[in-house]
Amino acid sequence: MDIKEILNSLHTKIKSLPHQGEQATYIPELLTVDADRFGVYVANLDLTGIGVGDYEQAFSIQSIAKVLSVSLAYQLCGESIWSRVGVEPSGTAFNSLLQLEADNGIPRNPFINSGAMVICDILITALDDPKEDFLTFVKTIANNPTLSYSTQIAESEKEIGYRNIALCNLIKSFDNLNNEPDEVLDFYFNLCSLEMSCEAVAKLFLYLANNGTCPISGTDVLTLSQSKRINALMQTCGFYDESGEFSFKVGLPGKSGVGGGIVAIHPDQYAIVVWSPRLNAKGNSYKGMLFLEEFTSLTEQSIF
C-alpha cells in the first residue's frame, strides 16, 4: 500500500474501535470539543501532504506548544537554558510536585509543566512583549498571520490551574524564576491555548525534520545541532511518563498535548500529526497512540 492507502485504512480501522479514554476534564473548555473528532495529516519536506478525517479542524495544541517555546528560548539564549531545566525523562506525571521538590526546583525537562514554566520565565526576560513576540515567532515559522491564542481556553485553565500555580510558586521558592509567578503563569496558559489544525501543526513542525529550517517560510529556527537536541528531547521526554512506551512502539521523536494532539517527526522525511481528544491514563491521545504505532509498523519507517 502507498501512504494514502495506509492513512485511509488505518483511519477507518481505528476510528471504528470502541471508545476508550476521556477528555481532559481539568480544563473545562476542552470538554466542549466533540470527543469523536479524529484527524491525521502527514507533511513532507517538499510541502506535499496527505490528510484524512478532521485534519482541517483547529484544536487546542496544549503542550505541543512547549516544543515551540523551548525552540525560541534555545534560539535566543543558547546552551545557558540547560542550567535551569534538565534534559532527563521525568518518570512521573507531568504536574508532579514531589519531583520538583526533590530536584530543588530544577525541572527534569522542558516538556513537563514545571519545565515549560521555567522556559516561559526565560522568554519573559528575553522578550520585550513575551506573548505577542512568541505568537509572532510561531506565525513567522508557519507563514500564517491568522494564528492566535484562545482566550476562552486560557481563561478556563487559569480558573482551575491550582496545581500549576503550586508548581510555579515552588519553582520561585527555589529561586529558579526571575519574574513573578502570576506573569509566568499568564504566559504559560496562553501559549498552551494556541489552536491549529493537524495540517497546520504538521507543516509548522517540519523545521525539526529539516535540520532546523522550516520549508514553508524558509525560516532558520534552530541550528543543526540545536534541532538534533530538540528531537532527542522529544524522543525521550515528549510523552511524560509514557515516553519510553511511545519510543518502543512508534520509534519517532514526538510530543503530545492534552487537547488530544500528537506530533511526530521523521528527520529528513516528514512530520505527522494525529488528533483524537480522548486521552489514555497517561494523558496522551488513546487513538492517536494506536494510530502512530500501526503507521510506523506498516510503513516500516521509524528512526530505528
Q: Which residues does the annotation mark as catalytic?
A: 63, 66, 188, 240, 258
Helix (H) or strand (E) holding 19: none
Angle subtended by helix axes 181-191 and 162-173, to nearest 10 = 130
Distance of CA 81 to the CA centre of its chain: 19
* Torsion angles phi and psi, residue 164, rounded to 5: -65, -35
Look at residues 185, 78, 72 and name the one whose alpha carbon lies nearest to residue 138: 72
Give strand pairing partners of 157.
none
Does residue 185 contact residue 129 with C-beta atoms inside 8 Å?
no
Per-residue exposure over 221-251, b if at least 16 CB sit within 10 Å of its own CB, e if not: bbeeebbbbbbebbbbbbbbbbbeebbebbb
The strands making up 49-53's β-sheet, listed across from edge to edge, are: 49-53, 39-44, 270-275, 261-266, 254-256
